[in-house]
Amino acid sequence: MEMIKGIQGHGYYDELVVPIIENTAYERELTDALAEAIEAYPKTTAVLVRNHGIYIWGDSWIHAKTQAECYHYLFDAAIKLYQLGLDWSTPDHGPIKKYGGKTNMSVKAGTVNSNHETEPSRRCIVLDIEGTTTPISFVTDVLFPFARNNVSRHLAATYETDETQDDIKLLRTQVQNDLEQGIVGAVPIPPDDAGKEEVIAALVANVEAMIKADRKITALKQLQGHIWRTGFQNNELEGVVFEDVPEALQKWHASGIKVYIYSSGSRLAQRLLFGYTNHGDLRKYLCGFFDTTVGNKRETKSYVEITESVGVDKPSEILFVTDVYQEAVAAKAAGLEVIISIRPGNGPLPDNHGFKTITSFSDI
């Protein structure tokens, strides 16, 4: 169905209508029927003459030749589908229609589900984590407490490393902004010459306040990722995903669909969670990870950035799955297809939210 894009005036999701007219004894006698078909279907660039052939035109000979190849491919696919007993027409258009004694053949790009409904073709799936691939309780009851309880130990053990100094630099900048904005829980961080212990104590107080407020900020998420890495590597932590997730990831990967993760947690934290799960290492099924460095998950521009990064022709070729209504709205505004995940422990959705919902990845 990719060949539809080769037809003048048509895109991947457009309907392609080819009028079929009856043959005549002489080719010159086809003129009136051809003109009538073109008038009835101004977008068409071809008319099929029964038991004879197809008339194709374009802006140039090369353009007409390109379209001819596309039509040939599409008709050949339709015939093979018919021979296999498969419906080659678009199911939601009903049976072959008759207009003024002329038969019209419709082909539409997309896939057909078990209910014979046309669905858009997907090249990429972008998944949220919390409440989508992973229970919210794992994040709130396991990951967050582990980070909170180990901030002081981690900072003390790694204080002189370049990685931790970078974490501290980010936290200093964030805390300074918080103080200027009057954010509750923000406390000044003393300069380095005040002593390691005093600096760490202030950092711990700020981090604990950020975790308590569930702040979706890079400075916090980066430090949490480093703390969690130690926990996963020391077998103190094990990632948890819903039972239907591994099979779905494997299926999508096998079918050539690229799967990405977009979470407020750092990319490191995402890799750790999927690398050390209760179902083994699932990173082999994933093509990449996005975090808040591409933008806030409730802002449309973040999804525009992701669309440009994954290399699709249209945003609608991306399916985004999340449990958060505001994220769904932002992604839809960017042109993505959106499904909301309903899992145990997820928050309520607004009435008449207008999004398709699933309770398992097997529903996709």
5 is in an annotated binding site: no
174: phi then psi, degrees, rounded to nearest 5: -65, -45
317 is in an annotated binding site: no
Provide the Cα torsion 56, 58, 64, 66; round to 10°. Answer: -120
Tell how far CA 18 is from the center of its chain: 33
Tell how far CA 296 is from the center of its chain: 16
Three-state DSSP string of 92-115? HHCCCEEECCEEEEEEECCEECCC
89 is in an annotated binding site: no
The DSSP element (H or E) to which 168 belongs, if any, is helix 162-181
255 is in an annotated binding site: no
Dihedral of alpha carbons 258, 313, 362, 143, sign: positive
**Catalytic site residue from 2, 15, 163, 308:** 2
243 is in an annotated binding site: no
Q: How far is CA 27 from CA 22, 127, 165, 168, in A?
A: 11, 57, 82, 81
Q: Provide the phi-psi class of 289: left if phi over 0, else alpha when psi is between -120 and 50, else beta.
A: beta
Pairing of strands 97-99, 102-108: antiparallel
Is 22 known to be catalytic? no
- Give DSSP secondary structure letters for 46-59: EEEETTTEEEE--S
Nearest partner of 363 among 240, 239, 241, 247, judged by Cα: 247
14 is in an annotated binding site: no
Dihedral of alpha carbons 349, 218, 132, 148, sign: negative
CB within 8 A of 52, min separation 6: which ones? Answer: 23
Q: Which residues are annotated as a binding site for Mg(2+)?
A: 128, 130, 323
List the catalytic residues. 2
Binding site members: 128, 130, 263-264, 297, 323
Annotated binding residues for substrate, written as ranges, equal 263-264, 297
